[in-house]
A and B are shown apart, each in its own frame.
Chain A
Amino acid sequence: MEKFKPHISVEKLNVFYGKHHVLKDITVKIPEKQITVIIGPSGCGKTTLLKSFNRLIDLVEGISVSGDVRVDGMDIYNGKIDVTNIRKKIGMLAQKPYPLPMSIYDNVAYGPRIHGILKRKELDRIVERYLKVAGLWDEVKDRLKSPASRLSAGQQQRLCLARTLAVEPEIILGDEPTSALDPVSAKRIEQEFIELKKDYTIVIVTHILRQAKRLADHVIFLYMGEVIEAGPAREIFEDPKEARTRAYIGGEIS
């Protein structure tokens, strides 16, 4: 296996939902400042794995987690850790673009405000900066005060990206972030990701193989709650070692 500096490392992670064993003995490493794509058929536990990275699975009632998830070497399931710090460090982009019920400006400023930035000037600067990074500034700069819900779905997802970036995370998680978008908007989001990997570690869940091929530097193939294979994208796509990986990439199982 290729050597790299892991940003997130998962060891023997087991997740139960009631009696249902959702994730089984997951051990993977997520490389820093690359795009890692988690692929696998629906219901294989991709989203659960993703949400275990920022402890958003804590919200699911009846879930139990064992094992280690380390971010920068820090065990995030350690009881002493402040969850809000972890979540600040790890941004998340949901499947469906979901603006908070407030203005465009307030959506982006929401995170910084939560973390104590209240000076108008500083907020203005942050909002402008991250709307630019998300490629939305030119389209909305004249109507920052209007409700975010008036934007198109593609614009909304870029707004969500800006909102995520505004808390200055190191890692960005995307849970099928283009699945609710039209092809053109989806393309734009993909391009954003490719540009962002200079500065961020990115983990994306997708069930679209072609998207995975376009984006991935590193691939994790998950099947029925288990990691079947993980490694550099080229190896996985061109020369998979496992029969099940081959079958999935060949379109035989879905």
Chain B
Amino acid sequence: MHTDDLIARLAAQPAPKPLSRPRLGGAMALSMLAPVAVFLLVLGTRHNLVAAWSNPVVPFKTLLPLLTCGLSLALVLRLIRPEARVGAAVWAYALPLVAALALWVAAFAQRPPAARFAEVGVFSLAECLGSILVLAVVPVVVMLRMARRGATTAPTLSAALIGLTAASGVAAGYSLFCSRDNPLFFVTWYGAAILIVTGVSALAGRRLLRW
């Protein structure tokens, strides 16, 4: 086809619907909130949530994933524009990362060897990892689909960030249910679940977000 013919054909098509990043961000946030809300409505929050938060370690369980989620969502929305780069913003991850590592190391140092990994068992791992992985399915799928409307020029990175957003978002929600407050447990296994989702999403997005 001659290029002028192509142009004539393209110009005859109706104007696109505008892409509103705030609305896209809102819809993405909703895709995480919905499964978490259903989960918490069915199973309830942990017993005595308010009292549990008086332990200074416990709020981190929710706040660190929430921070990671917000940061990643902002980066996902930024990368929707083809000319955008992540750039120095990636250093903001140092905050939740260092905090999580500090919690882990401090807990390791404080606890006697027998108490360190006492919670680790088939049931507790299945509950923690399983819940986060299952809860993350819907937001990852929804967000990848939404991101296809955008024009990321870094598909794998965008998809990884979508996985990170979704998994850390639902992990923050799940933490309101989870009653295991040992950082050696939650840092390790929330972290593992988040990394798994991030990796799977990156693999899926390599193809899905290409255009």
Q: Do these two chains interact?
A: no
Residues of chain A at the chain B interface (Cβ within 8 Å): none
